[in-house]
Chains A and B, each alone.
Chain A
């Protein structure tokens, strides 16, 4: 490397008190602030020795005289799992012992049904390894062929690797099965009890922490799948939720902003409205949910009313405060120029507070999203929250996460778009000429074609 004599601007060190970092370092950190949490999530999910307290079943088994039923995909604690395996093994050796001594515990129809159940425990393995689709796996004759394939060694698991113990067991079972019939005939299943597949599983995070890829796959599935016509699709749910936030917020702004401006302008309205509002806002909006359902009945109206109730009172107080913060000397200047009350509100107060009002509205819009989740649970459950609620009950957290993330992304993106549009609405604010475009700002500009918004500068004519 040659010594370059060119002047190089000193870069701000990473930790400089109240100094802005270089643009490159800032972008790097902004990217990192999103990548780090995802990285942490991935590390926890994909490193088997970090926080994997559970075993996720790949193959399950039914136990004799035990009512708790586990199916593939269920989580068992690491402490419980060996006991489960041992119990199934013990039952298998009893079966083998009974077979050896020639006594038959069950017979006929019941024996065949028990054996069919054992056959069907292969289904999750067949689906996971891609041997059968979900629909095909419900067909017993197809499963029968899977047993044959595994026993003859033509099917080898890639995703779910069958243990040697299970392969040996499958071979022994297949001898019995194929002796009766090479293809599936429900009447000609052997009556001799088959050995049960020994439970298999792999270490897993707790059930409430699905891995990133599971969330992505499940999210894609939930958003693209055909649902039955009685139930709304995910996009319909999304639109429904957006509608409730939008109407709740708009109604609240329609009433709240004028009242807020009046309170900030006239002490009369301030003293008339604000004390009660100040008191009312301490009553949590969800506490009114049953009342709202009684008044507005079960569908969207009480939900919109709840979002309204949650944002309205804050809005009046925030807007009146913003109004009061308008520089009093602007009002005095307008007075000495001859502006009277109404002109003052229309031509000085309203234009003067709009930039701050715009920011207030952004923050309050964020709040109305929080109320949405509660709003959708009252009356007839609806929208994205209903989906979260149902899936959460079934412990399908890989379905829950995409929705939570989507609500977050919607709020964040809306806010960023509004923030970057601010400079076009208020070109006169000092910060609009200082700030550079952020990532989303540049994206929006690119989408809108910025020429439309570039006003000609004739300042130096």
Chain B
């Protein structure tokens, strides 16, 4: 791929980036994953979805999880959010073992999971109310979160009146309103069109900048992973296990223009190598069958 331009190694970091990572590792550990694994028992026997994996996430870090389909990246994040049981190992949140779903871990899903019978404001208030808050302060707080995602004008709308991007922004506001220790995002922009998607990515970085929250973000889009993350957890399929935990050498603050910078491309090249290793899908192997007459040569 890179015969044309000579790229630097993705491991080369500028001084500022190196200093930033040194700072990150100084921070307290927010999430400690210890030998967490997942397997299913089926009629054919036990199927290991995820071999025991361990890693740490530091406070206010932005981690992406990436890997080929079937590598268990969604399963991992659903286990951490408490939506699925852990087959082995444990994970600690702020040093304490967490089990089952709870308000300390927020989640944004790929599908639209806003409650359709509640207005935007009531959706954001939901988490606060079920956790025992009430009164006008809840409403004010909800409005602040809605303003944060830039939807103050739509507070009284129902989800069915919003576009896909707006729905996901509300979902982020709703998850953040509980002030979770960590926010899990499972391909949240997967269903959006490319334009909205890149808007949402910039928007998410802005929110993350303004809010004290640690984010774990599952995606299969390499650009998205690099553009957003401090580190990228690359998983491998059958069974799922960690291939590499890549430190993204692209300096912050990020801008879309950086997508063409050498560090960005070098990281992307590395991810390509890890996720699509030497695939035999060259068109040369396909038999040449012409169903219609072709007179002019396109090449």
Contact = CB atoms under 8 A, between A and B. Distances in A.
Contacts of B105: 336
A332 interface: yes
B126 A347 contact: yes
Interface stretch (A196-204, A360-368, A423-431): A423-431
A209 interface: no
A458 B175 contact: no
Given A329-B113, A330-B113, A429-B116, A338 B157 contact: no
B127 A428 contact: no
Contacts of B171: 333
A348 interface: yes
Nearest to B184: A336
B130 interface: yes
B117 A351 contact: yes
Nearest to B119: A428
Nearest to B100: A335
Interface residues of B, number: 34
A339 B130 contact: yes
B154 A335 contact: no
Interface residues of A, number: 29
A336 B115 contact: no
Interface string A406-448: 0000000000000000000011111001000000000000000
A459 interface: yes
Interface string B159-175: 11100000000010011
B153 A336 contact: no
B36 interface: no
Contact of A337 (B126, B153, B184): B126
Interface in B203-254: none
Interface string A100-137: 00000000000000000000000000000000000000
A461 interface: yes
A231 interface: no
A18 interface: no
B172 to A, nearest CB: 12
Interface of B: 81-83, 101-103, 105-107, 109, 111, 113-118, 126-127, 130-131, 153-154, 156-161, 171, 174-175, 178, 184
28 contacts: A327-B111, A327-B113, A332-B83, A333-B107, A333-B113, A334-B115, A334-B126, A336-B103, A336-B107, A337-B130, A337-B174, A338-B101, A338-B127, A338-B131, A339-B126, A339-B130, A343-B130, A347-B126, A351-B117, A352-B117, A427-B158, A428-B117, A428-B160, A430-B160, A459-B154, A459-B156, A459-B161, A461-B153
Given A336-B101, A338-B131, A340-B130, 15 more contacts: A329-B111, A333-B107, A334-B130, A336-B81, A336-B103, A336-B184, A337-B103, A338-B102, A338-B178, A351-B115, A352-B115, A426-B117, A428-B118, A429-B160, A459-B156
Minimum-distance CB pairs A-B, first 6: A338-B103, A333-B113, A336-B107, A335-B101, A337-B127, A428-B158
